[in-house]
Amino acid sequence: MLLYLQPDSDVPLYQQIRDQIVAGLATGQLSPGDPLPPIRQLAADFGVHFHTVNKAYDLLRQEGLIRLHRRTGAVVVCEPAPPEFRGQWRERARVLLAEAFVKGIPPEEILAECTALLNSFQPANAHSDLSGGAST
Amino acid sequence: MLLYLQPDSDVPLYQQIRDQIVAGLATGQLSPGDPLPPIRQLAADFGVHFHTVNKAYDLLRQEGLIRLHRRTGAVVVCEPAPPEFRGQWRERARVLLAEAFVKGIPPEEILAECTALLNSFQPANAHSDLSGGAST
DNA sequence: ATGATTGTTACATATCAAATATAACAAACA
DNA sequence: TGTTTGTTATATTTGATATGTAACAATCAT
């Protein structure tokens, strides 16, 4: 799993690290049980301070996506979503979808983008293909 | 169009203002040609500084969603998306969808959420209903 | 027990963003 | 002319970001 950072982005470095690990989880490049590199090693690979990586790992821990142990390191767990997750996620999705909508992108195309992205996720769910228009 | 702010949110105030105006545009509560309140008045309504509202308006102007004039004030315009919009939007959507996916929400439900949100947008597009599963 | 590896915590510091505050300026219209 | 509007400048306070140094604590192999 290859990671790269954009130091001049408006997205904080620890957030970029967290986001790419989440994306790696979705695409199946990372699976529950897999170990993550030690924070100091990952920091050295990126050329950032280990505190920055530590903050990213701490975020992922708070989200229930990884578990941290001394000596053992970080491992992927992917705990189920807490009750408040859906509502908060929906609000963020509302703004993101609204942005595309008001910029004139047709709702069918927006949905097609989402479908394509979801289909690019975990091969474990490859049996449930979300083509939508293929069967009609 | 009713706006409210959460001062203790991790989302900056100017971003909250911007997001709610974008959402208002999507739902049709705001339409091209509509005027927006003067920054000083909106700031007074919110109990924030006019610079905070000014930053939100400036963001919307950079995005091509409003146009600003002295004396006249701000009006909605909704310019079409620039070429780089799609790619940047897709990257943000990728992370957001990945978050829901790795938290165990089935892709069908994620798509259903997106569909419902898109259907809640502008009645001007009400003729193209994206139900997908209602007709079966 | 020893020692190395790992995450964890505590300080400190520099830089930048967010939000407020005050003031002045400039275009536009009645 | 004068008011309303956005615009710009400067300053300040607070918090977030990122780095740096140092030490601590659990864990596992030896």
Distance, angstroms, CA A43 to C1' C11? 21
Question: Chain centroid to CA B37: how far?
Answer: 17
| List of domains in chain B | 13-76 (1.10.10.10), 85-125 (no CATH)
> Nucleotides of chain D within 7 Å of a protein C-beta?
3-10, 16-21, 25-28
> Among A42-46, A67-71, B106-110, B124-128, which is the least confidently predicted range?
B124-128
In the β-sheet with B66-69, what is the strand arrangement from edge to edge? B35-36, B73-76, B66-69
Give one DSSP letter per residue of A54-92, joined into a string.
HHHHHHHHHTTSEEEETTTEEEE--PPPPTTHHHHHHHH
> Given this model, what pLDDT does residue A81 score?
95
**How does A34-72 read in b/e, with b if 16+ C-beta sit within 10 Å?**
eebeebeebbeebebebebbbbbbebbeebbbbbeeeee
> Letter for the amino acid at B21?
I
Q: Is A87 on the interface with B (CB under 8 A)?
A: no
- Complex confidence, ipTM: 0.91
pLDDT above 70 covers a percentage of chain B that reads 90
How far does the CA of B65 sit from the C1' of D7, in Å? 19
pLDDT band at B43 (very low <50, low <70, confident <90, very high): very high
What is the tens place of the pLDDT at every residue in B54-71?
A: 999 999 999 999 999 999
Query: Does residue A121 belong to the interface with chain B, where contact is any CB pair within 8 Å?
Result: yes
Say if A90 is an interface residue toward chain B (CB within 8 Å). yes
Closest CA-bearing residue to C1' of C27 = B70
Is the pLDDT score of B26 beyond 90? yes
Residues B88-105 pLDDT 10s: 999 999 999 999 999 999
Residue B67 β-bridge partners? B75
Partners of residue A66 on adjacent β-strands: A76
Best CA proximity match to A39, nearest among A22, A29, A52, A21: A52
3 state DSSP class of B131: coil
User: Concatenated DSSP letters for B2-63?
Assistant: -----TTSSS-HHHHHHHHHHHHHHTTSS-TT-EE--HHHHHHHHTS-HHHHHHHHHHHHHT
Supply the mean pLDDT for chain B: 91
Measured between beta carbons, which residues in chain A are less than 8 angstroms from residue B25?
98, 102
Whole-number distance in Å between B45 CA and C20 C1': 16
B121: which chain A residues are within 8 Å (Cβ-Cβ)? Answer: 97-98, 101, 107
Helix axes B107-119, A85-102, angle to 10 degrees: 50
A70 is near strand C: CB distance < 7 Å: yes
How many CB atoms lie under 10 A from the CB of residue B120? 15
The answer to whether A96 contacts B86, with C-beta atoms less than 8 Å apart, is no
Among residues 20-59 of chain B, which lie with CB inside 8 Å of chain A? 22-23, 25-27
Residues 6 or more apart in contact with residue A95 via CB below 8 angstroms: B19, B22, B23
CB A5 within 8 A of CB A46: yes
* CB within 8 Å: A113 and B93: yes
- Record: contact B114-A99, CB cut-off 8 A: no
CA atoms within 13 A on the CB side of B107: 24
Coil vs helix vs strand at A36: strand
3-state secondary structure of A136: coil
Nearest to B103 by CA among A62, A88, A79, A87: A79
Q: Is the CB of B14 under 7 A from strand C?
A: yes
- pLDDT 10s digits, A98-128: 999 999 999 999 999 999 999 999 865 444 4
- To the nearest whole Å, the CA of B54 is away from the closest chain A CA by 20
